[in-house]
């Protein structure tokens, strides 16, 4: 029996209101006991609040339940906790690099290797559904 601890993944977006909560949920569900996943936002506007209603609806349509999510603000402790920190877009990655110390910097990367997960905020339900599919498609590359 292995005594290795689960791989710790942290997903980060702007408000921890749309993309990063869904990414964390999908990674946790697909990764099972091999991963421990948390999410956070670089802004504190949505701390303690549920996920965006349109994201919850798009997630539910794909079989994911975001109702338990409550927003979390990114802290240095969360960066230290994580083995891998996954930014949902290039602007978030830039913000993370500004916050990270030399220990945390190598952990940082984009959730999708070659492009951003677009922020669906203020857009139609079809954009939220597209974001769900992008996050689903990107998840396997981060799992053991």
Among residues 66, 6, 4, the alpha carbon closest in space to that of 39 is found at: 66
Catalytic site includes residue 119: yes
Residues with Cβ within 8 Å of 123's Cβ and at least 6 positions away in sequence, in order, are none
- The beta-strand segments (E) located in 29-137 are 35-41, 84-87, 108-110
The 10 Å Cβ neighbour count of residue 63 is: 10
Locate 91 and state its tokens.
């602007």
User: Any catalytic annotation for residue 5?
Assistant: no
The sign of the torsion formed by the CA atoms of 50, 136, 92, 124 equals: negative
CA angle at residue 15 from 83 to 144, to 5 degrees? Answer: 25
Q: Is 13 a catalytic residue?
A: yes
**Active-site pick, 5, 8, 13, 130:** 13
Catalytic option among 5, 8, 19, 116: 19
- The active-site residue out of 18, 83, 119, 130 is 119
Q: Which residues are designated catalytic?
A: 13, 19, 119
């Amino acid at each position: 029996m292995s005594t290795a601890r689960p791989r710790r993944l942290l997903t980060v977006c702007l408000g921890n209101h749309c993309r990063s909560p869904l990414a964390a949920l999908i990674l946790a569900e697909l990764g099972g006991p091999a991963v421990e996943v948390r999410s956070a936002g670089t802004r504190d506007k949505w701390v303690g609040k549920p996920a965006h209603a349109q994201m919850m609806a798009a997630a539910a349509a794909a079989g994911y339940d975001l109702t338990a999510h409550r927003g979390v603000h990114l802290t240095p402790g969360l960066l230290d906790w994580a083995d891998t920190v996954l930014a949902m877009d290039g602007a978030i990655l830039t913000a993370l690099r500004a916050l990270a110390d030399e220990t945390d910097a190598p952990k940082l990367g984009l959730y999708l290797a070659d492009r951003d997960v677009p922020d669906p905020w203020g857009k139609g339900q079809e954009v939220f559904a597209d974001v769900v599919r992008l996050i689903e498609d990107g998840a396997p590359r981060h799992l053991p």
